C-alpha cells in the first residue's frame, strides 16, 4: 500500500502556491493533482478530481477557503487551511479542517499536517452510533416533493452525490434527497463509502473492474456502475480479504 497523497492546492497568490508546491516536492509521498487560484475554482476541482487532501487559503474571493473546506469535508477530502490570518482558526475547524497552518509555511509543520491527514485516511471510520443507525429490516424515510417516501433499506443499491443533492437508488426507483452522504452513512452502516461522491451496498455488487488509478468500477447486479476511489479500494480489499 502506498502512502502517497493526492493533493489539491488552492491560493489566490501565485507565490504562495509555488512555495507549497516546492515544499511538497521536498517532502515527497505526495502528488499534486490540481491547483486553484480562487475558492470557486477549488470547488470545481474538488467535484472533478480524486483528492485526498486539500490545502486551502482562507481569503480567495467570493467563495472563501472556508466555504471550500466545508464542501471538501462533505466529499471525504481532508482539509488543511493555509493562511496568514490567525483569527479564522476556530471557524476553520468548525468547517471540517484537520489543521491550520500560518504563512509562511515551514516544511516540518506541513509534514506534520500531512501525516495527520494520512493517518485519518488509512484509519477505518468508527461504526455509526446505534441511535442514528437503521436496521436492514427498516425503511428509510425520504422527503420527496412534499411527501415522505419510505424506502426499504435492503432495496437500496447505492447513493450518488449529484451537484448538491444525493440520489438514492433502490431497485427501479431513484429519489433525490437533501440528506448528505455522511447522513446516509450514519443511518445506513451497511453501505460502503466507495467514493467521496458515492455509497454502495456490497450485497448488490456482482464484480469489480480494476482501473489504472488503483481504484475500481463496482458493477451492480442491475448493471449500474459505481466508482470506487483509490483510497476506498484499499479499504475494500481489506474488507474482502483481497491481498
Please list the rounded mean pLDDT of every run of 10 residues in the chain (243 residues): 78 89 89 88 81 85 73 80 81 81 88 88 51 64 85 92 89 89 86 89 93 88 90 81 74
Cell of 165: 443533492
Cell of 189: 452502516
Q: How far is 100 from 218, CA to CA, in rounded Å?
A: 36
Domains of the chain: 5-122 (3.40.50.2300), 139-240 (2.40.50.1020)
Q: Pick from 48, 44, 24, 28: which is nearest to 36 by CA?
A: 44
Strand 78-83 vs strand 97-102: parallel, antiparallel, or unpaired? parallel
Query: Measured in Å, how far apart are the chain's first and last C-alpha atoms?
Result: 10
Q: Pick from 51, 79, 48, 84: which is nearest to 66 by CA?
A: 79
Q: How confident is the model at residue 207, as a pLDDT? A: 93
Q: How confident is the model at residue 62, as a pLDDT? A: 66
CB atoms within 10 A of CB 16: 20
Q: How confident is the model at residue 165, as a pLDDT? A: 87
Sign of the C-alpha dihedral, residues 150, 156, 161, 167?
negative
Q: How confident is the model at residue 226, as a pLDDT? A: 93
Amino acid at each position: 500500500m502506498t502512502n502517497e497523497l493526492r493533493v489539491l492546492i488552492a491560493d489566490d497568490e501565485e507565490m504562495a502556491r509555488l512555495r507549497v508546491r516546492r515544499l511538497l516536492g521536498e517532502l515527497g509521498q505526495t502528488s499534486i493533482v490540481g491547483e486553484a487560484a480562487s475558492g470557486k475554482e477549488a470547488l470545481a476541482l474538488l467535484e472533478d478530481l480524486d483528492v485526498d487532501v486539500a490545502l486551502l487559503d482562507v481569503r480567495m474571493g467570493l467563495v472563501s477557503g472556508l466555504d471550500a473546506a466545508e464542501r471538501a469535508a462533505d466529499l471525504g477530502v481532508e482539509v488543511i487551511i493555509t493562511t496568514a490570518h490567525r483569527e479564522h482558526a476556530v471557524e476553520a475547524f468548525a468547517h471540517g479542517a484537520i489543521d491550520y497552518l500560518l504563512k509562511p509555511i515551514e516544511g516540518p509543520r506541513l509534514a506534520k499536517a500531512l501525516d495527520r491527514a494520512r493517518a485519518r485516511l488509512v484509519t477505518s471510520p468508527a461504526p455509526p452510533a446505534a441511535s442514528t443507525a437503521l436496521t436492514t429490516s427498516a425503511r428509510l424515510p425520504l422527503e420527496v416533493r412534499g411527501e415522505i417516501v419510505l424506502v426499504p433499506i435492503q432495496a437500496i443499491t447505492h447513493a450518488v452525490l449529484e451537484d448538491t443533492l444525493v440520489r438514492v437508488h433502490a431497485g427501479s426507483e431513484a429519489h433525490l434527497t437533501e440528506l448528505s452522504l455522511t447522513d446516509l452513512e450514519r443511518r445506513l452502516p451497511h453501505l460502503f463509502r466507495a467514493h467521496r461522491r458515492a455509497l454502495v451496498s456490497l450485497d448488490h455488487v456482482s464484480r469489480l473492474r480494476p482501473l489504472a488509478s488503483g481504484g475500481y468500477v463496482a458493477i451492480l447486479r442491475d448493471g449500474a456502475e459505481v466508482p470506487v476511489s483509490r483510497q476506498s479500494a484499499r479499504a475494500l480489499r481489506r474488507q474482502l480479504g483481497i491481498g
